[in-house]
Chain A
């Protein structure tokens, strides 16, 4: 694909049986991004078996087999374009243990399509995915009320599903004004690429229009510099070289930078990217750099590099909203699992469970509950057992989310509401 249109990473989220794959298949097909030979192969097989119709999920299976033969990560990302954008679909794995990777990984989704089946409504996984979308910093969400063909295109069923989703979005404080709801059938193709005659009561945008009209994502270059350190090297002839990816802001040579929580600072001498010296590094750039006066043992993995005159926050405690995804028993105050945030992994104690949130209404269900368990959303106060640099999600979302792991599993995910600095 050429580079003449802006690019968006689009997450497709929703409950396991609500038709995500079918919708992805339909989008690829309608935008002519399914390879011709895959369609031909499917048609032949369908005719042999005496089955008519065009089952996109089946096409997707064929595509999956084909992609598995590919070599690099590009195989996991499917692309299509509209008049305004190139989209890369981030098809999130179903298992919860991949949540950590989605939070700490490099290619985060800009916007999302939430798929909710009209014949099934909001399900626990719908709730979990919406919360994760919020935690992962997704700004705009398009709600595809799918499988309208299975409810005879009844407006009432669409409205009912829409109301359920609206309640859910209110719960996680998603700005519902900009959210678009579209009745679709990915299987039949209604309201995906062309207006459906089956939904005369609907006069809003169809799915491809809504995608085309999404706002353009802006890289977080305006924010303060935050560069979590992945590794620290000693390179002969150069000295100490921290390596990491710029999350927000810009790193310039000559900048005076501070590393937290190690609490050392110095002047950036040289920056290298792809083995070439560069004058500055921007969000998404993987760089190594050299800082005057800093030794290898002065800084470590998990430190965050920021401006010396406004250094990254170090939390004595922080308040966060969490959702418990899987835990064999209950979580009570005093529980100390490992928090994974940017490149840091730090044991943290849940000092208090401040309130539990009712998933149905979004209101506080219980103040100071004794415990929370799988499926619960709650506000908690957390005390890191070792110094941890972390930021309020409202100020720097890239440094404000975390996954909680224990017993070899990702048990919860959350975002930071406020930081009580050390």
Chain B
């Protein structure tokens, strides 16, 4: 099986959250076997900005679940959702 790229949208708990620090915390909490290639930022509304890391995971059991769960537990994260997936 190959690898899958997933764009995972991470919403901060409020507009005041430091996104650079949040980005670091997400990197530190990445589960084994997953890799972050880069971050996009999506300005949403009323000062809220989403971080959208592109995460590479193996195309196997569990999918993006482990990454979603890990990100959900990171301080300052309101919600985590997978926007897009595709095979590499």
Contacts and interface: CB of A to CB of B under 8 A. Distances in A.
A72 B38 contact: yes
Interface in B4-39: 4-7, 11, 14-15, 37-38
Nearest to A75: B5
A325 B6 CA distance: 22
Given A91-B86, A98-B63, A243-B44, A235 B37 contact: no
A410 interface: yes
Contact of B46 (A272, A301, A408): A272
A301 B11 CA distance: 13
Contact of A107 (B52, B61, B65, B83): B83
Contacts of B63: 93, 95, 97-98, 100-101, 410
Contacts of B56: 68
Given A91-B86, A98-B85, A231-B79, A286 B42 contact: yes
A221 to B, nearest CB: 20
Interface string B39-56: 010111111111010101
Contact of B54 (A75, A273, A286, A410): A75
A271 B46 CA distance: 9
B45 A106 contact: no
A353 interface: no
Most buried by A among B4, B37, B44: B44
Nearest to A67: B88
Contacts of A70: 37-38
A72 B7 contact: yes
A72 B46 contact: no
Contacts of B81: 104, 230, 343
B6 to A, nearest CB: 7
Contacts of A289: 45
Contacts of A132: none
Q: Is the interface of A mostly helix, strand, loop or mixed?
A: mixed
A95 B54 contact: no
Interface string B58-86: 01111111000000000000110111111
B45 A275 contact: yes
Given A68-B3, A76-B5, A95-B1, A102 B47 contact: no
Most buried by B among A72, A102, A287: A72
A104 B82 CA distance: 8
B62 to A, nearest CB: 6
B19 to A, nearest CB: 14
B82 A105 contact: yes
A64 B58 CA distance: 13
B64 A98 contact: yes
A238 B88 contact: no
B45 A272 contact: yes
B41 to A, nearest CB: 11
Nearest to A16: B1
B60 to A, nearest CB: 5
A92 interface: yes
Nearest to B2: A64
A258 B37 CA distance: 40
Given A68-B56, A105-B84, 20 more contacts: A70-B37, A73-B6, A73-B7, A93-B63, A93-B87, A94-B59, A98-B59, A100-B82, A101-B82, A105-B85, A231-B79, A241-B45, A243-B11, A243-B48, A273-B45, A275-B44, A275-B46, A286-B50, A288-B46, A290-B46
4 A-B pairs with least C-beta separation: A288-B45, A76-B86, A71-B38, A97-B63
30 contacts: A64-B88, A68-B3, A72-B37, A72-B54, A73-B5, A73-B84, A75-B37, A76-B86, A92-B86, A93-B4, A94-B59, A95-B1, A95-B59, A97-B61, A98-B4, A98-B63, A101-B63, A231-B11, A233-B14, A233-B78, A235-B46, A241-B45, A243-B44, A272-B44, A274-B45, A275-B44, A275-B45, A275-B47, A288-B48, A409-B62
